[in-house]
Chain A
Amino acid sequence: MCGIAGIYAYQYAANAVDRNELRCIRDHMAVRGPDGFGEWYSQDGRVGFGHRRLTIIDLSERGAQPMVSADGKLVVTFNGEIYNYRQLRTSLEAKGYRFRTQTDTEVLLHLYAEKGEAMVHDLRGMFAFGLWDAEKNALLLARDPYGIKPLYYADDGWTLRFASQVKALLAGEKVSRDPEPAGWVGFCLFGSVPEPFTTYQEIRALPAGSTLWVDRVGAHQTKQYFSIANTYCQAQAGSSPVYEEHQQLGAREALLDSVRHHLVADVPVGAFLSSGIDSGALVGLMRDAGQQEIQTVTVAFEEFRGSSEDEAPIAAEVASRYGTRHTTRVVTEQEFRNDLPKIIEAMDQPTIDGLNTWFVSKAARELGLKVAISGLGGDELFGGYPSFREVPLCVRALAIPGRIPGLGDLTRLLISRGLSHFVNPKAAGLLKYGGSYASAYFLRRGLFMPWELQAVMNADTARLGLRRLNPIRHIEALLEPKPTNSFCRVAVLESSLYMRNQLLRDTDWASMAHSLEVRVPLVDSILLSQFARITTKHGSQSKRPLADSPRIPLPPKVIERPKTGFTTPIQSWLQRDNRTQEWRRVPALAARKCAWARRWAFQVSTATAAA
């Protein structure tokens, strides 16, 4: 897990790579990779790669990056983990490839030499890399199927720069800081910036599951090689009847297989533990996969001690059942106040979440961990969110009135003009947006509604951003090809929007700020294709298969506990903090019944726009 950077001066008039700029970009990410750094430049000075290293596999110097192939024709700078690198290595060795290191990085070089760009289909893991092919005179950028690892690029028409973080690209001081209205509007609508946009016009995210070629004419169109919607559709098309017991066995084996793959490392792998099924079951499976020593960590708050919101006692019970070395880390209001400026600083793009991951990652790093397993992705895979129930319900109820042209807009207008003090803005949009999966999902997850944007941002920015983002079309595009089953549709939307742009991004910046690699066994393309087969058949809306998968069962308390949603006292701490009170200036936000997330979003946007 590391930080990567690169500059390619592709256009004929562009200046050669500025080494100082590349070093500034790279070293802005020092905390992503504190164990080492490296750089590489092509002979003509038109291409440069940088790398910051967090050593996890092959701790020796030979694993340093950027890594050049023996013949000097291929160079790679890579962030992530390839969990099946040993299998890939064996098959490449059988074909005659000679390896110099024990790293997964070297596998990338040989696999590319063998298969070219199609190599991405063989990789199981989380990755973002830049690969220079000297023979083709072209740069290949690629990102893992789910978009666990970030990859941003800025193309000014002469030079293309890429890095693991937006702020790193800016640190080189040659990338334009012109704002991107679509990015800001996206943040206000969703609470996170939807890819491929960022809050800067020139900087784009390489979409999850995509590759991008850059040659002497510049960037080509990005090419998608993996789609969650497509995986569900394929499973639907090819699903064969499965007996109950086989299905159960299949589920357990698939989960265990994913966890086993995610334990590959030359350093100890710990785990985040909450009171939920996801993290508990993963710890159980880690044991089943043969890991004897497991360090687990839970975050607790003094305010919640003794209340039903306190996760610590149940987490401790799970830990003792699986015999882990368990630590409960108590976070206080004072610590939060001290960390807040650092949190804003580390936040790569504006987001309304990530605070919990910040503290649990901090705790894990204090315990000396470099790698931790997280239960992220369980809700998307097993239908853990209320949206799995509510969105299809809403679509069924409103499909017919939603089709009457103008009715939605009319009711919305009537309500927002006359009844805005009594009716929730989302309720006002119900008829307008309730009728299709994309729009009902938007309504469910939306932070602000499009017609509310003018209260929190400049009217021109709002108009321009809405036009460019086109939120409903943006969501619909992710749902193509459309699975027929309602469970799969919601799963696609949750995984391609909320999980990708919010959960995974937040996990990345908040954990990397503490030089901690977080691994997510429930976010895995192989696991998905196995479960897609099962869920398309039965539309499972239960975490039972996950809960039942460890050989030593989870405590019944964990399984029977109603889903509460993760609560923290952070909200009330922020309400009290006199540094986060700008929202009071905006009447719409100062209103008594305004949701806290909206105020926080405004707070974050003012803080990050100022930075």
Chain B
Amino acid sequence: MCVGETVGFPGVHGDGSSVVRPSGLRVLALVTEAFGGRGGIAQYNRDFLSALARCDRVGDVIVLPRFSARSVRTLAPGIRQLRPVESKIGYSLNALWTAITQQPIDIVFCGHLNMAQLAAGICKVLNVPLWLQVHGVEVFWRKLTALERRSVESATIVTSVSRHTRRRLLHCVGIDPSRVKVLSNTVDLQYRPGPKPNYLLDRHAASGKKVLMTVSRLSNFDRYKGHDRVIRILRRLLEQHPETIYLIVGDGENRPRLEKLAVEYQVAKSVQFAGLVTPEELPDYFRLADVFVMPSTCEGFGIVFLEAMATGIRVIGGNKDGSRDPLCDGELGTLVDPESDEQLASAILAALDDPARTDDRSGRFKPEAFREYVNALHHFFSVQSCHSVATQMVLQREETAA
């Protein structure tokens, strides 16, 4: 069903496709990284842009990334990724240049709050609507400047990665809440249940042991993830489950501090640092684990929770942030107050007592649902923005072209 029909919006044809110019709408996407990038935000952007390119009213998507770890050869039809420009000024000039030379641009998508001012400026120049994406940490960690706030408020639609991020954003900007939607992360199909891989059992001497695992970067910026809290209570866990390993996957400047902490709490023997793991090996690491734990306090969403649930292992997360979303308020995993050692310890103990694996529990977060929602939102977006002169013009242009 097209949402345009639901609202019976005047001026929009019931059948959404009838107003689209033959070539479809052209989207300019300003993102930190997407295709060829690493990490959660890059994956999110890839999912999003691929979904957008498949929307029935969208013609093509021009992606302008700031970073790209690897070069990309093949992209989905309808997507064109330009060369990354790392310098801030260079990127801004390039974005403006692209916007002007790649006319007609119908919608600007902005993949990061840090670029919102640039994107809003371009939208103003081109007189087109802005679609802004927010993830989490960028909203939590600092106060928005007045200009950033106004940029967000100028967006026709904002998609947020979790309910928590949405709530935090609505706290600092005065935007109609109906324009702020939640579009959750997805999980890759390579994460699925399986036996503990032998090569990893050998590598970590984990045969016959229970594996408690956390996966994240270990930069100083990521201290909120809660490794400290797990190390602090590990002694208590070992008393009941002496054969437990706490496996910390990921690397960063915070690692030496955690190593010292493990020594300090006399659990160094039971804590292993796996360092950086390749994307190919990561699914196996989840299969190696019995319990995934990350008592985070500032998570935007926590895609690792989804990966863990997809492999069917027990999952424990914090109840104060975006982690509530992948764990579905406790339906798919155990939520604890991340500040409470008591709750954390008893949740981990319960999981270690009964580490039975389940089927893939991440079903609701598969890419199909995501794609459908983007498609539905896209209709919503077009209908909503009909209020603005910008889209009136887009529609007129479409009709003349048709």
Which residues of A are in contact with B by a Cβ distance under 8 Å? 11-15, 116-117, 136-138, 155-158, 174, 176, 178, 182, 201-202, 204, 213, 215-223, 467-468
| 9 closest Cβ pairs, A-B complex | A157-B182, A12-B369, A468-B174, A157-B163, A219-B178, A157-B166, A13-B364, A217-B376, A156-B163
B329 touches A15 (CB 8 A): yes
Inter-chain contact A213/B331, CB cutoff 8 Å: no
In the complex where A13-B325, A204-B177, A219-B178 touch, is A137 in contact with B1 (Cβ < 8 A)?
A: yes
Most chain B CB atoms below 10 A, which of A178, A218, A221: A218
Whether B167 lies near A155 (C-beta < 8 A) is no
* Residues of chain B within 8 A of A220, CB atoms compared: 3, 6-7, 178, 380, 384
Q: Given A136-B6, A157-B163, A215-B3, does the pair A13, B376 have CB atoms closer than 8 Å?
A: no
When C-beta atoms are compared, the residue in chain A nearest to B369 turns out to be: A12
Interface SS of A by simple majority: loop
Which residues of chain A come closer than 8 Å to B389, judged between CB atoms?
none
Given A15-B328, A215-B6, do A221 and B166 touch, yes or no (CB 8 Å)? no
Which residues of A sit under 8 angstroms from B376, Cβ to Cβ? Answer: 216-217
What is the interface of chain B mostly: helix, strand, loop, or mixed? Answer: helix
The yes or no answer to B184 lying at the interface (CB within 8 A) is yes
Q: List 25 A-B contacts (CB under 8 A).
A: A12-B369, A13-B325, A13-B365, A116-B8, A117-B8, A136-B1, A137-B1, A138-B6, A155-B177, A155-B178, A156-B167, A157-B162, A157-B163, A157-B166, A157-B181, A174-B329, A213-B7, A215-B1, A215-B6, A217-B376, A219-B177, A219-B178, A221-B178, A221-B179, A221-B384
Q: How many residues of B contact A (CB 8 A)?
A: 37
CB closest residue in chain B, given A182: B174
Is the Cβ of B178 less than 8 Å from the Cβ of A222?
A: yes
Task: Say whether A201 contacts B167, CB under 8 Å.
Answer: yes
**B8 contacts A217, CB within 8 Å?**
no
CB distance from A7 to the nearest CB of B (A): 13
Q: Are A467 and B163 in contact (CB under 8 A)?
A: no
Q: Which residue of A lies closest to B378 (CB)?
A: A217
A205 CB, min distance to chain B CBs, angstroms: 13
Of B1, B160, B373, which one neighbours A12 at CB under 8 angstroms? B373
Complex CA–CA separation, A215 to B2 (angstroms): 10
CB of A201 within 8 A of CB of B171, answer yes
Q: Is A12 in contact with B372, judged by CB distance below 8 angstroms? A: yes
CA distance A202 to B164 in the complex (A): 11
- Whether the Cβ atoms of B167 and A178 lie closer than 8 Å is yes
Which residues of the other chain, B, contact A213 by a CB distance below 8 angstroms?
Answer: 6-7
Cross-chain contact of B176 among A117, A138, A221 (Cβ < 8 A)? A221
User: Which residues of chain B from 314 to 343 have any CB-CB distance to chain A below 8 Å in the complex?
Assistant: 325, 328-329, 331
Q: Which residue of A lies closest to B9 (CB)?
A: A220
Give the interface centre of A13, A201, A467 by most chain B CB atoms within 10 Å: A13
Contact among B3, B373, B380 with A11 in the assembled complex (CB-CB below 8 Å): B373
Interface residues of B in 334-381 (CB under 8 A from A): 364-365, 369-370, 372-373, 376-377, 379-380
Q: How far is the CB of A259 from chain B (nearest CB, A)?
A: 36
User: What's the Cα separation between A527 and B365 when bound, in Å?
Assistant: 53
Residues of A within 8 A of B365 (CB): 13
Please indicate the chain B residues that have their CB under 8 angstroms from the CB of A223 in the complex: 7
For B5, the chain A residues whose CB sits under 8 A away are: 136
Binary A-proximity of B151-180 (CB < 8 A = 1, otherwise 0):
000000000101100110011001011111
User: Measured between alpha carbons, how far is A222 from B174 in the docked complex, in Å?
Assistant: 16
Of A12, A117, A136, most buried by chain B (CB within 10 Å of CB) is A12
Given contacts A12-B372, A117-B8, A221-B384, 7 further A-B contacts (CB under 8 A): A15-B328, A136-B1, A137-B1, A157-B166, A201-B171, A221-B178, A223-B7
